[in-house]
Structure 1
């Protein structure tokens, strides 16, 4: 699907960077399968030098043990991330290593819980740690403990290149959330929306806050956007989210656009629009996507969704960690952008095919 160019609106050249990374990492992993053993090496001189203590990769004959700190196991978005990581893990396992996935039980205490998982990974002998930096003020000390202790750190999904630099990570793989939000805001404005509500069910998380902030920036030339922060316990509670959004719509009849931070919340928003009698008036958009969102777009009941290609986040992050652990290889970019891209009625069929394959 990434080859299609029909009405896609990628930012930051995500496809070009992703293909560059895949080409380089594929060469490394093929070498791993052919040789059956790891050799030490020196990190690419083209890549920025990490602030971590370890500046060269290579396992030195030791067993590669990569830990990934991601989202909840029953979160549909993270299942796509894990699918990509699992596919990359096959190469790690073929080389005698392993990949271990860790995730919080819920999102109620996300930052501190994630910090504990990072430290747990280090204590269990991780040779590389991959993690989303959702709440930097709660997680950065744990990331720094790992990187300064000689464990290579790779950020993905949340935190961006700025936090990657702060914690001594070797790279960031994912979407630039502020840019993604701005793209969504601009698309709303282009389609006539004047007052957009950004529904945030994980307030305080750096990525969701950046998304809503970006929407407001994108709307600034043609309208306004405000945030509706809900308790994090609302995440995964469709009834609570639906009722909160419905109440907001009934309170302010000028709202003509809704955007949510997840596909589950978009389902709740669609129900709220119907219950508030606002169908045909309130345009709906969401970050991330699922087949349900795409079918609504195809039916004309949802305006768009913003794809950050979660499969690539898992695949590229694990591949990078393995290439660095086993061979000291690094890609030349500090960040690999996997998105964002607007999916609307013009390119929805290609996206549906990707969802059915389990990679989008």
Structure 2
């Protein structure tokens, strides 16, 4: 998508410095608890857990909060962090006799339609509230609007931005600003001397991944560099060998590429392998969106330039907490969007990020 489309999807964007400040304050505000999970029933996608212990899918009928959270694949490391935050927040829901149900697709091959089906599955269960990313608006917005029309409070999180929340009638957007996150990454590459950046996108067409690559391109351009996208079939997502070979091929075909950025941590590991196999470690800088132990260890060792943290734990924690508070007491934070990132992790602050992963919240 072009720059104008990206801004329309993602909404208003505070300055980069303001985003960083919000992220740091958000980290300080987190309280960690625990919650059990199981398996849900019904729906077209893989449903990664059932209502939090002590709840039921009919909880909305007896005055107890029944919150449905739609997320990514259960074996996606990023979504494991989101779900961990949601599960921690679910303990408070459970203490009031309510439930939190997590739903996710089996694959990312048909992401928008699958997410729409899961939204309708949640709606069929008489929910008190639905929490959902707006990954592919043209596929998902009708389902979200249907929930809103039936009087179900909906909270957009992770993808879509405040414009998606306003367009669908949802109450709030909770998450990072993917376009601004990309701009920060593109600018960082250029500041470090990169001239030709490749943005590897294994979920082409998804609003958040497209916005990330758009941001990289604009951040690079504003600092005298350029960027292009390498779109790969979404079936390659989670297939390290396929992604490695595709990136290696791109590097060997174009020896002017001097920086790579990936939309997620699994792809970053594949990109690191591709750089090594192409014997390009001395000239190609690596960056990624999101965090994992391997990314942080490479940053610490000087083998990776940065990782852009949208703080997924906070997205799950805040989304479930805010939905529960709204349902229980009618209170809601006035900020819209409620930002959880981006926060750029480099060699200067990687030690703090590593400490967060050891605590299980990064």
User: Which TM-score tier does this pair reach, normalised by the shorter chain?
Assistant: 0.7 to 0.9
Instruction: Select which of 217, 228, 231 maps to 1:229.
Output: 231
Quick check: 1:9–1:341 contact (8 Å CA) kept in 2? Answer: no
Instruction: Select which of 329, 341, 344 maps to 1:342.
Output: 344
Larger relative contact order (CA 8 Å, sep ≥ 6): 1
The total of aligned residue pairs comes to: 320
- Structure 1 residues 17 and 171, CA, compared in 2 at 3 Å: closer, same or farther? farther
| SS of aligned partner of 1:105 | coil
Aligned to 2:69: 68
- Structure 1 residues 339 and 167, CA, compared in 2 at 3 Å: closer, same or farther? same
- Structure 1 residues 75 and 274, CA, compared in 2 at 3 Å: closer, same or farther? same
- Structure 1 residues 311 and 232, CA, compared in 2 at 3 Å: closer, same or farther? same
- 1:252-286 CA-partner distances (Å, limit 9, x unpaired): 00000000000000000000000001011100000
Quick check: 1:84–1:315 contact (8 Å CA) kept in 2? Answer: yes
Structure 1 segment 70-149 matched on structure 2, within 5 A: 70-149=71-150
Aligned to 1:249: 251
Aligned to 2:331: 329
Structure 1 segments of 4+ aligned residues over 6 angstroms from their partners: 19-23
Quick check: 1:289–1:305 contact (8 Å CA) kept in 2? Answer: yes
Q: CA deviation at 1:356?
A: 1.4
Q: What's the TM-score once normalised by structure 1's chain length?
A: 0.86
Q: CA deviation at 1:148?
A: 1.2
Quick check: 2:157–2:174 contact (8 Å CA) kept in 1? Answer: yes
- Structure 1 residues 20 and 327, CA, compared in 2 at 3 Å: closer, same or farther? farther
| SS of aligned partner of 1:68 | strand
Q: CA deviation at 1:334?
A: 1.6
Quick check: 1:18–1:336 contact (8 Å CA) kept in 2? Answer: no
**Distance in structure 1 (CA, Å) of the matches to 2:357 and 2:24:** 21
Structure 1 segment 260-279 matched on structure 2, within 5 A: 260-279=262-281
Aligned to 1:32: none
Q: Which runs of 5+ in 2 are unaligned?
A: 1-15, 33-59
Q: CA deviation at 1:22?
A: 6.4
- 1:151-179 CA-partner distances (Å, limit 9, x unpaired): 00001000000101011110011000000
**Distance in structure 2 (CA, Å) of the matches to 1:318 and 1:202:** 26
**Distance in structure 1 (CA, Å) of the matches to 2:306 and 2:69:** 30
Quick check: 1:186–1:215 contact (8 Å CA) kept in 2? Answer: yes
Q: What's the TM-score once normalised by structure 2's chain length?
A: 0.85
| SS of aligned partner of 2:229 | strand
Instruction: Select which of 276, 282, 304 maps to 2:284.
Output: 282
Instruction: Select which of 10, 15, 19 maps to 1:11.
Output: 19
Q: Which runs of 5+ in 1 are unaligned?
A: 1-7, 27-58
Aligned to 2:174: 173
Quick check: 2:155–2:170 contact (8 Å CA) kept in 1? Answer: yes
| SS of aligned partner of 1:339 | coil
**Distance in structure 2 (CA, Å) of the matches to 1:246 and 1:175:** 30
Quick check: 2:30–2:314 contact (8 Å CA) kept in 1? Answer: no
- 1:198-237 CA-partner distances (Å, limit 9, x unpaired): 0000000000000000000000032100000000000000
Aligned to 1:196: 197
**Distance in structure 1 (CA, Å) of the matches to 2:226 and 2:234:** 24
**Distance in structure 2 (CA, Å) of the matches to 1:270 and 1:219:** 21
| SS of aligned partner of 1:11 | helix
